[in-house]
Amino acid sequence: MNALQLCLAFSSLLFAVGLAGALARSNAIIVLLGLELMLNAANINFIAFWRFSPSSAPATGVIFVLFSIAVAAAEAAVGMALVIAIYRHQKTIRLPDATDLKG
């Protein structure tokens, strides 16, 4: 197992942890933060491939991560705003309770 694979394994595990959190917890905030962890795991991949890539010229990986972080920030802001909006209507932020659109 070389360093790149170590990095990828790290990111896979982080992804799994985030996924587990997003699936297991009922609190919407924690679920959102689990999603953030998953995004971070993806970013780790970008950096890892950039770091160990054969062609070192373009900084595409780094730039991709920068954009990804920006999008994550937007996502967090909107997500938290949604949580607050849900809380205002339902007085709860438990995700299993937020099933008004249930089919």
Partner 1 sequence: MNPASHLWVIPALPLLAAALGALTPRGGRRLAAGAAIAAMAGALIASCFALHAALAAPAAHLTCNFEWFRLGGGAVRLGWLLDPLNGLMCVMVSLVSLLIFIFSLGYMDEDENFTRFFCFLALFAAAMLGVVVSNSLLLLFVSWELVGLSSYLLIGFWFHKPSAAAAAKKAFIVTRIGDLGFFIGLVWLYDSTGSLLLYDGGRGILEAHALAGLAAPALAGGLAASTAIGLLIFCGAAGKSGQFPLHVWLPDAMEGPTPVSALIHAATMVAAGVFLMARVFPLMAADQALASAPLHALTVVAGIGAVTALMGAAIAVAQDDLKKVLAFSTVSQLGYMMLAVGVGSWVAAIFHLLTHAFFKALLFLGAGSVIHATHHEQDIRRLGGLGGRMRVTFATFAVGMMALAGVPFVFSGFWSKESILHAAMEWEVSRLPLWAGLAGVVLTAYYMTRLTFEVFAGRPRSHAAEQARESPAVITVPLLVLAAGAILLGFLGTPAWPWLQSQLTGAAVPSGPLIESPVLTAVSVILVALGLGAGWYLYGRRPRSDAGAADPVAAAFPAVFAFLAARMKLDELYALTVGRLSSALSWLADFLDRRVWDGAIRLLARLGELAGLMNGEADRDGLNAGFDAVSEGFRRAGRAYSRAQSGDAQGYLRALAVGFVVLVVLVLMGCSR
Partner 2 sequence: MSAALAIVALATLGSAAAAMLGRSLLRSIFMLAVSWAGVAAFYMWAGAQFVAFAQVLIYLGAISMVALFAVLLTRQSRDEASPPPAALRRAILAVVAAAGVAAVLLWAVAHSPLAVSGSLAPATSVRQLGFDLMGRHAAALLVVGVLLTIALLGAVVLAADGAQERPGDEP
User: Under the rule (CB under 8 A), what is the footprint of partner 1?
Assistant: 19, 22-23, 26, 31, 95-96, 98-103
**Among 12, 99, 100, 103, interactor with partner 2 by CB under 8 A:** 12
**Binding partner of residue 42 among partner 2, partner 1, none, CB cut-off 5 to 8 Å per kind:** none
Shortest spacing between CB 103 and partner 2, in angstroms: 20
Q: Is there a contact between 11 and 41 (Cβ–Cβ < 8 Å)? A: yes
Q: Considering the rule CB under 8 A, would residue 57 count as an interface residue with partner 2?
A: yes
> What beta strand segments (E) does 1-103 contain?
none
Cα–Cα distance for residue pair 18/24, rounded to 1 Å: 10
Q: Is there a contact between 17 and 37 (Cβ–Cβ < 8 Å)? A: yes
Shortest spacing between CB 46 and partner 1, in angstroms: 19
Q: Considering the rule CB under 8 A, would residue 50 count as an interface residue with partner 2?
A: yes
Cα–Cα distance for residue pair 39/44, rounded to 1 Å: 9
Shortest spacing between CB 100 and partner 2, in angstroms: 16
Q: In Å, how far are 20, 51, 69, 103 from 12, measured between CA atoms?
A: 12, 17, 18, 34
Query: Measured from the CB atom, is 3 or 59 closer to partner 1?
Result: 59
